[in-house]
Amino acid sequence: MLNNSSSKVSVVGSFAVGLTLRADRFPVRGETLIGRDFDQGPGGKGSNQAVQIARLGMNVEMIGLIGVDAFGDMALSLYEIENVGTSFFQRMRERNTGVGFIVLDRTGDNFIILDPGANALLSPAHLDRAAMHLEESDVVITQLEIQLETAGHAMELARHAGVITILNPAPARLMPREILANVDVLTPNETELRILLGRAPDDPSESLDLCNELLQADVGTVVLTRGERGALVVTANGYREIPAFEVKVVDTTGAGDAFNGTLAASLAEGLPLERAARRASAAGALACTRLGVIPSLPRAADLDNFLNGK
């Protein structure tokens, strides 16, 4: 069990409220469908990952922005309950709190449309004010629901201080080499992997070859998530496959955040990369078994019980 309050993880990222509907299928252009099971709850990749890290016993600080509105109140309430640090989490009057619209089909697949709101205002200057905290962390993790420049600055500050850096490149975009060079662990899925390299999302190239292209761009390690086919840990010394865990899928929405949060927590604790990736895969699988993002993020005891049963 991970339970080391002296380990420190800093999350530089987004908070957004998720508004979720279920339908039997996704609509086609111009079509209106009747949905069901409306749910409203806290989300944003950075925020979800911070909650996951806290649930595994880590000391975690969330660095981000929210608006002065009811959705921003939801963030502060969540972090108080989940024991996520907010010393560098600020409210801005200029923009609303981020919001995302999520639609799930009968199989649990999803699509998401996001209005970043205040997240779009998070700048390198905000990180400079938190630089000492970032430099004292064991791991710094960020995503791409904030400005690319800001995500890159987070990686740069942490790398220069010898801190482990993790970039979860979602939503993906073409990535400058100078940012990739400061990333110790890059965690794309197979679609994101292609977009990062300027390829079409369905480019037929072998994923392993594309991972090696990223290593040639000075990324330290690529941890490629492949859904039901598990994960691939690719380093300069070769690759290892991390098998998937079989579960009954209810909702895949929080799986990536459970994976990334658990990977960050495990590396902060000092676990070797392959063990950390296996633990992260288990967390991602568990997250698929419950509806909603925050309710699905596993706690340490649940994750350990699941792993011990395998």
Q: Which one-letter amino acid corresponds to residue 227?
A: G
Distance between CA atoms of residues 141 and 168, nearest Å: 7
Contact criterion met (CB below 8 Å) for 107 and 2: no
**pTM exceeding 0.85:** yes
Please name the residues in contact with 225: beta carbons below 8 A apart, sequence gap of 6 or more.
187, 188, 189, 190, 231, 256, 259, 284
Q: How many CA atoms lie within 13 A of 100 on its CB side?
A: 25
Please name the residues in contact with 52: beta carbons below 8 A apart, sequence gap of 6 or more.
257, 258, 260, 261, 262, 265, 283, 297, 298
Contact criterion met (CB below 8 Å) for 293 and 254: yes
Residue 189 has pLDDT above 60, yes or no: yes
The average pLDDT across 12-33 equals 93
Nearest to 187 by CA among 213, 174, 161, 168: 168
Q: In this structure, what token pair is assigned to residue 91?
A: 């409210």
The string of pLDDT tens digits covering residues 258-291 is: 999 999 999 999 999 999 999 999 999 999 999 8
The average pLDDT across 109-130 equals 92
Residue 296 has pLDDT above 90, yes or no: yes
The string of pLDDT tens digits covering residues 125-181 is: 999 999 999 999 999 999 999 999 999 999 999 999 999 999 999 999 999 999 999
- Please give the pLDDT value at position 2: 54
Distance between CA atoms of residues 78 and 41, nearest Å: 10
- Please give the pLDDT value at position 252: 86
> Cis bond leading into 298, ω under 30°?
no
State the catalytic residues. Answer: 257
How would residue 4 be classed by pLDDT, with cut points 50, 70 and 90?
A: low
- Please give the pLDDT value at position 7: 86
The string of pLDDT tens digits covering residues 190-224 is: 999 999 999 999 999 999 999 999 999 999 999 99
Q: How many CA atoms lie within 13 A of 91 on its CB side?
A: 11
**pLDDT over 90 for what percent of the chain?**
85
Residue 111 has pLDDT above 90, yes or no: no
Q: If you average pLDDT over every residue of the chain, what do you get?
A: 94
- Please give the pLDDT value at position 253: 81
Distance between CA atoms of residues 94 and 210, nearest Å: 40
Residues facing 61 on adjacent strands: 10, 85
- Please give the pLDDT value at position 181: 97
- Please give the pLDDT value at position 69: 96
- Please give the pLDDT value at position 39: 84
Work out the widest C-alpha separation in the chain, in whole angstroms. 53
Residue 307 has pLDDT above 60, yes or no: yes
CA distance readout (Å), 181 to 153, 155, 239 = 12, 9, 20
Q: Which residue has the higher pLDDT, 252 or 140?
A: 140
The average pLDDT across 71-95 equals 97
Residues 78, 21, 147, 235, Cα dihedral to 10°? 90
Residue 75 has pLDDT above 60, yes or no: yes
Distance between CA atoms of residues 167 and 182, nearest Å: 9
- Please give the pLDDT value at position 20: 86
